[in-house]
Chains A and B, each alone.
Chain A
Amino acid sequence: MSESTAPIARPPAPTREHYLNVKYGIKSWLLTVDHKRIAILYLISITAFFFIGGAAAVLIRLDLATPAGDLVSSETYNKLFTIHGIIMVFFFLIPSIPAVLGNFLVPIMIGAKDLAFPKLNLLSWYLYMIGGSFTLWAMIAGGVDTGWTFYAPYSTTYANTHVIATALGIFVTGFSSILTGLNFMVTIHMMRAPGMTWLKMPLFIWAQYATSIIMILGTPVLAITIVLIAIERLLGVGIFDPALGGDPVLFQHLFWFYSHPAVYIMILPSMGVISEVISAFCRRAVFGYKFIAFSSLAIALLGFLVWGHHMFVSSQSPYAGMVFSLLSFLIAVPSAIKVFNWTATLYKASISYQTPILYAFGFIGLFTIGGLTGLFLATLAIDVHVHDTYFVVAHFHYIMVGGAIMGFLGGLHYWWPKMVGKLYPEAWARFSALVIFVGFNLTFFPQFLLGYLGMPRRYHVYDPEFQVLHVLSSAGASILGIGYLIPMVYFLWSLRYGKDAGPNPWDAKGLEWTIPSPPTTFNFEEPVTVGDVYDYPTEDETPPWKQGSSEGAHV
């Protein structure tokens, strides 16, 4: 591999005023309405939640190294996988890219001074923190053992753990997600710089727009589902209790109506990041811009039609199952289009290997496996066998960890110089990317085999014949855990000792690279001029049939 072109370190500029040093003190942070500062607040809080959820994951994997599961008791194990699910889904994956990278970059990338409703943006962070503290309090006070899916009637009548407190936490955090979605949608519609038409917007903005649609239309249904759970626990009314005329499958319908589109809230922003990273490090516009942009919308809209594939074996009628299975297959097509277009972008590109593009390669590979294994679960006959087994666990971790987190880390590395004005250490970053990639595959690939063998998920004690695969998975988990710690260390290190990053360390195109890093409070000093999107100069190659005798076919 050729030597990488390390960006030239610029002499430290005289301390220029920017959004970080314009004001100091707690009040300047806790009462800020600057979208960039709110993004930093979110970055700190979701990192904290990520490591809490991650610690729960490591404990689970350590306990599962032995069939008898003798590290923790069954109750604790159930609480561990529940809190791992809740924190990772609601407090890390859903907010991570929209609230951190989205908050920071959506206004800048479309040439606006700030989001449409800055005060609502701050309120969104406070709601996130209030919801988070409810859930953490519930966790400390004894935890909840219903699984992040809260299936009735266990969660409504039989669980005696802190279900309502956790549900309240998720209820409040849901509104934080709604407000972020609302803010992005209005900003993207109303506050684009003159000249930036819809087809001149960066693909990251398209992805945020599609994600906002889901946040707006899906999250309220989850809020009501949680209200119904709380009512059922308090009043003992029979909405989900069959003895009183209700139906537990109704809960699953309402829950999955939100929770499946929620997985697209988690993956779409990562797809936006990958489009940006690939075009920047290939020095070329992404292949098939329109197809990638509209496939994001297609995924967001189709995402609301497919939730029934979570319920194929739950006594849902087979006819409804067939409809949901067909719709689930249709939604696989836009994802396939995206992967093919990203791969096609690499053709005849000028690729420089820096950490963001390594995460993008990891994303393409792992998201492909994750997406294709999703087809197994959409196929009715196979889902009967693999539903609620480790096959499902492996599938959604390939999408969430292999896809969403790789995308988040890739985006964080790509825009870190812009956010803090400092460069991260390239060598360490590549090393940690490799460790994460290896640790991830060692953790979750064996789980596909476990799944088809029939090992059910959420089992504290399992049959000795599954132990070898579990030990492999646990080994992978410890590597993955270390892999995630390294970036936090060197990112913090770079704040102090990192080389100063100029306005455009990657020589990339995009409005965010035309302003100094870190940006000033109002982002743009002079009026914004909008060129074509990704207008990288590319070398026109005379096509072989036109070359005639002058020089050999130049492939």
Chain B
Amino acid sequence: MDETTNYRAQSVRIFLALMVLTAVTVAVSYVNLGALNLPVALLIACTKAGLVLVYFMHLKGNLRLLWIVAGSGFLFLAILITLTLSDYFTRQAVG
């Protein structure tokens, strides 16, 4: 039974980590960091998502192909957001 208990123990540890990170992100949002609020919130959200992906969805030790599929989803989303915002950011610069 030890094999399942260490699975279960690991999942509880990850669960607690996610709870702590949720508390952190809420707490940090009350502190006015100005332009830093967004990056911090995004960073915490990405770590939480990473934990869920790697441990809860057991990407860990799984096919390298699944890492690529998950990665490409987020990569192409990043392409959409960055290239679109690149238009909006540089549009103001030239007035």
Which residue in B65, B80, B91, B93 is a CB contact (below 8 Å) of A316? B91
For A213, A305, A308, A320, the residue with the greatest tally of chain B CB atoms inside 10 Å of its CB is A320
Taken residue by residue from 54 to 93, chain B's Cβ proximity to chain A (1 for < 8 Å, 0 otherwise) reads as: 0000000000010000001100100110011011101101
Given contacts A317-B93, A318-B94, contact A217 B76 (CB under 8 A): yes
Assess the B80–A221 pair: CB atoms within 8 A: yes
Which residue in B73, B83, B94 is a CB contact (below 8 Å) of A217? B73
Assess the A319–B80 pair: CB atoms within 8 A: no
> A5 at interface (Cβ–Cβ under 8 A)?
no
Which residue in A304, A315, A323 is a CB contact (below 8 Å) of B86? A323
Number of residues from A at the complex interface, CB < 8 A = 21
> A424 at interface (Cβ–Cβ under 8 A)?
no
Closest residue of chain B to A218 (Cβ to Cβ) is B76
Which residues of chain A from 316 to 335 have a CB within 8 Å of any chain B CB?
A: 316-320, 323-324
Assess the B83–A317 pair: CB atoms within 8 A: no
> A257 at interface (Cβ–Cβ under 8 A)?
yes
Q: How far is the CB of A313 from chain B (nearest CB, A)?
A: 13
Which residue in B73, B79, B91 is a CB contact (below 8 Å) of A305? B79
For A189, A253, A317, the residue with the greatest tally of chain B CB atoms inside 10 Å of its CB is A317
Q: How far is the CB of A210 from chain B (nearest CB, A)?
A: 13
Closest residue of chain A to B79 (Cβ to Cβ) is A304
- CA separation between A317 and B84, bound complex, in Å? 11
- CA separation between A253 and B93, bound complex, in Å? 19
- CA separation between A318 and B87, bound complex, in Å? 8
- CA separation between A128 and B63, bound complex, in Å? 33
Assess the B80–A257 pair: CB atoms within 8 A: yes
- CA separation between A42 and B30, bound complex, in Å? 56
Q: Which chain A residues border B79 with CB–CB below 8 Å?
A: 304-305
Which residues of chain B from 19 to 37 have a CB within 8 Å of any chain A CB?
A: none
Given contacts A253-B87, A304-B79, contact A319 B94 (CB under 8 A): yes
Q: How far is the CB of B68 from chain A (nearest CB, A)?
A: 11
- CA separation between A295 and B69, bound complex, in Å? 20
Q: How far is the CB of A376 from chain B (nearest CB, A)?
A: 22
Q: Which chain B residues border A319 with CB–CB below 8 Å?
A: 86, 90, 93-94
Q: Which chain B residues border A221 with CB–CB below 8 Å?
A: 80
Assess the B87–A316 pair: CB atoms within 8 A: yes
Assess the A315–B80 pair: CB atoms within 8 A: no
Which residue in B65, B88, B93 is a CB contact (below 8 Å) of A189? B65
Assess the B73–A320 pair: CB atoms within 8 A: no
Closest residue of chain B to A324 (Cβ to Cβ) is B83
For A217, A250, A254, A305, the residue with the greatest tally of chain B CB atoms inside 10 Å of its CB is A217
Which residue in A217, A254, A304, A308 is a CB contact (below 8 Å) of B87? A308
Which residue in B72, B73, B80, B91 is a CB contact (below 8 Å) of A317? B91
Assess the B90–A320 pair: CB atoms within 8 A: yes
- CA separation between A118 and B72, bound complex, in Å? 25
Taken residue by residue from 240 to 273, chain A's Cβ proximity to chain B (1 for < 8 Å, 0 otherwise) reads as: 0000000001100110010000000000000000
- CA separation between A320 and B94, bound complex, in Å? 11
Q: Which chain A residues border B91 with CB–CB below 8 Å?
A: 315-317, 320
Q: Which chain A residues border B72 with CB–CB below 8 Å?
A: 213, 217
Q: Which chain B residues border A316 with CB–CB below 8 Å?
A: 87, 91
- CA separation between A249 and B86, bound complex, in Å? 13
Assess the B93–A320 pair: CB atoms within 8 A: no
Closest residue of chain A to B86 (Cβ to Cβ) is A320
Q: How far is the CB of A25 from chain B (nearest CB, A)?
A: 40
Q: How far is the CB of A380 from chain B (nearest CB, A)?
A: 14
Q: Which chain A residues border B84 with CB–CB below 8 Å?
A: 250, 253-254, 257
Q: How far is the CB of B81 from chain A (nearest CB, A)?
A: 10
Q: Which chain A residues border B80 with CB–CB below 8 Å?
A: 221, 257, 304
Closest residue of chain A to B92 (Cβ to Cβ) is A317
Q: How far is the CB of A20 from chain B (nearest CB, A)?
A: 36
Task: List 11 interface pairs A-B (beta carbons < 8 Å), by A numbering.
Answer: A189-B65, A217-B76, A253-B87, A257-B84, A304-B76, A305-B79, A307-B83, A317-B91, A319-B94, A320-B87, A323-B86
Which residues of chain B have a CB within 8 Å of any CB of chain A? 65, 72-73, 76, 79-80, 83-84, 86-88, 90-91, 93-94
A-B pairs with lowest CB-CB distance, top 9: A317-B91, A320-B87, A319-B90, A317-B90, A253-B84, A217-B76, A316-B87, A320-B86, A317-B87
